[in-house]
């Protein structure tokens, strides 16, 4: 607690709070710090929650080095404020203690498809406006990628259970184990009286390498592994992971915690090109993950992968060229292979609704404020942008919430 108070005191000496500008949801950092120091932790928690319903989660998994901490003016001295530690303390306290009051109903009904970051955010915001909100998900619990894609050691799932309790207090209904598209459709939902529908289903379809061997029994996708690591009890003593994003790091660190297997990550570029957060890469290395750079995977076999070196050539004009050396292919032995090269959206909703257009990547086409090509249907988060951070999904969803409220009230002849 002393460190948190010290950080708050250091922060308030700042005359130019760039941290707020660096936050995708523009968190009121100085205000929160002052409320904490004034002994008003409940008010500080309310400020955080009202601005970002996922504050207790974002404080743990946000890319702080790029957002609030990365924009702190004290970076020039190498001692940026660790606001996320203060936010984590306050927001967790608030989530556990707060009892939210149900708002007077406004008579409008809203459906939220997907109980991940975007869906949860939208549901809470709209319930606080008086909407009768039903949040629907194909899985048995809320959280989406927060529950089924991020390991427990990074994000305690008990936080999601507490968040669900707060959602129930707001009158939000949760319908689990329901896949919208094949059986229940968008048309059915409008027929049943929903004034608007929001899609926040994320990206759960793993990208393929499209090389021989991907269908073998020793090959798995990282996003599938992270959903339920306990199901994968026969990975063997040496696991190779192809890819170097946050999902790859999460899978690698989870394997090391659940088994005695050695873990190698194979990446076709250099360390400077790793897409995982620097902090996550460092933790993976500390945990014992061995990084292998400039190796292109050509084929997967029963006992390993065939790789070839990648040669990086830097030209005088500043351009960089990468060439695979096919003459020096070799086998990288392993008992199992996990592919972690990103995810795309599932198509169960859009293929059953031709009015909702998608991009060539299968993502839902939507405006900056969440409008899709079908009237009354909105979307935000990863299903629109592709895999981004949780706080970016929150920021996009807040814009969609404003637009949905305008649309529904306009539809019923209400002007403000």
Q: Give residue limits of the domains in the chain.
A: 2-97, 109-204+345-411, 206-342
Cβ neighbours of residue 45 under 8 Å, at least 6 residues apart? 90, 91, 93, 94, 95, 97, 98
Give the torsion sign (CA, 332, 334, 340, 344).
Answer: positive
Query: Token pair 């909100």 is at which residue?
Result: 133
Residue 96, pLDDT score: 94
Residue 28, pLDDT score: 93
Which residues, listed in sequence order, are joined to residue 189 by a DSSP beta bridge? none
CB burial of residue 103 (10 Å; 0-12, 13-18, 19+): middle
**Tens of pLDDT along 295-346?**
999 999 999 999 999 999 988 888 989 999 999 999 999 999 999 999 988 8
What is the spatial distance between Cα 342 and Cα 123, in angstroms, rounded to a whole number? 27
Residue 75, pLDDT score: 81
What is the spatial distance between Cα 290 and Cα 263, in angstroms, rounded to a whole number? 6
Q: Does domain 109-204+345-411 have CATH number 3.50.50.60?
A: yes
Structure tokens at 400: 């969609």
What is the spatial distance between Cα 185 and Cα 98, in angstroms, rounded to a whole number? 36
DSSP string, 224-283: HHHH-GGG-----SEEEEE--SHHHHHHHHHHHHH-S-EEEEE-SS-GGG--S-HHHHHH
SS (H, E, C) 181-220: CCCECHHHHHHCCCCEEEECCCCCEECCCCCCCCCCCCEE
CA-based angle 355:361:364, to the nearest 5?
Answer: 35
Q: Does domain 2-97 have CATH number 3.30.2130.10?
A: no
CATH number of the domain at 206-342, please? 3.50.50.60
**Tens of pLDDT along 69-104?**
888 888 877 788 889 999 999 999 999 999 999 999
Structure tokens at 378: 């909105």
Residue 136, pLDDT score: 97
Q: Is 66 helix (H, G, I), strand (E, B) or coil?
A: coil
Q: Which residues of the chain fall short of a pLDDT of 50?
A: none
What is the spatial distance between Cα 119 and Cα 112, in angstroms, rounded to a whole number? 6
What is the spatial distance between Cα 364 and Cα 334, in angstroms, rounded to a whole number? 38
CATH topology agreement for domains 2-97 and 109-204+345-411: no
Residue 70, pLDDT score: 86
Chain centre to alpha carbon of residue 329: 36
- Please state the length of the chain: 416
Query: Token pair 């690591």 is at which residue?
Result: 229
Pairing type for strands 330-333 and 173-175 reads: unpaired
Residue 414, pLDDT score: 87
């Amino acid at each position: 607690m002393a460190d948190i108070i010290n950080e708050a005191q250091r922060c308030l000496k700042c005359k130019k709070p760039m941290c707020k500008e660096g936050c995708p949801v523009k968190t009121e950092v100085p205000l929160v710090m002052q409320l904490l120091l004034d002994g008003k932790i409940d008010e500080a928690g309310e400020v955080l929650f009202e601005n970002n319903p996922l504050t207790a989660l974002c404080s743990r998994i946000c890319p702080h080095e790029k957002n609030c901490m990365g924009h702190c003016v004290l970076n020039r001295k190498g001692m940026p404020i660790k606001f996320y530690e203060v936010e984590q303390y306050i927001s967790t306290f608030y989530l556990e203690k707060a009892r939210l009051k149900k708002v007077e109903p406004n008579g409008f009904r809203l459906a939220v498809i997907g109980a991940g970051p975007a869906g949860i955010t939208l549901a809470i915001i709209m319930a606080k406006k008086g909407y009768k909100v039903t949040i629907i998900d194909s899985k048995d619990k809320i959280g989406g990628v927060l529950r089924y894609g991020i390991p427990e050691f990074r994000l305690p799932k008990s936080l999601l259970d507490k968040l669900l309790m707060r959602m129930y207090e707001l009158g939000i209904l949760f319908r689990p184990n329901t896949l919208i598209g094949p059986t229940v459709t968008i048309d059915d939902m409008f027929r049943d009286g929903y004034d608007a529908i929001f899609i926040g289903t994320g990206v759960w379809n793993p990208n393929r390498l499209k090389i021989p061997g991907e269908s073998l029994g020793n090959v798995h996708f990282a996003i599938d592994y992270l959903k339920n690591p306990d199901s994968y009890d026969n990975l063997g003593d040496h696991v190779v992971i192809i890819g170097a994003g946050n999902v790859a790091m999460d899978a690698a660190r989870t394997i090391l915690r659940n088994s005695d297997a050695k873990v190698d990550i194979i990446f076709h570029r250099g360390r400077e090109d790793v897409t995982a957060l620097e902090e996550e890469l460092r933790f993976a290395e500390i945990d014992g993950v061995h990084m292998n750079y400039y190796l292109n995977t050509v084929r997967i076999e029963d006992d390993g992968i065939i790789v070839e070196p990648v040669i990086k050539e830097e030209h005088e004009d500043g351009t960089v060229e990468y060439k695979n050396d096919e003459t020096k292919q070799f086998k990288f032995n392993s008992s199992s292979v996990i592919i972690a090269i990103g995810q795309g959206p599932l198509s169960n909703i859009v293929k059953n609704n031709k009015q909702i257009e998608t991009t060539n990547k299968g993502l839902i086409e939507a405006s900056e404020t969440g409008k899709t090509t079908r009237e009354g249907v909105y979307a935000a988060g990863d299903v629109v942008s592709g895999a981004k951070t949780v706080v970016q999904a929150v920021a996009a969803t807040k814009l969609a919430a404003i637009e949905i409220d305008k649309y529904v009230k306009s539809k019923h002849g209400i002007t403000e």
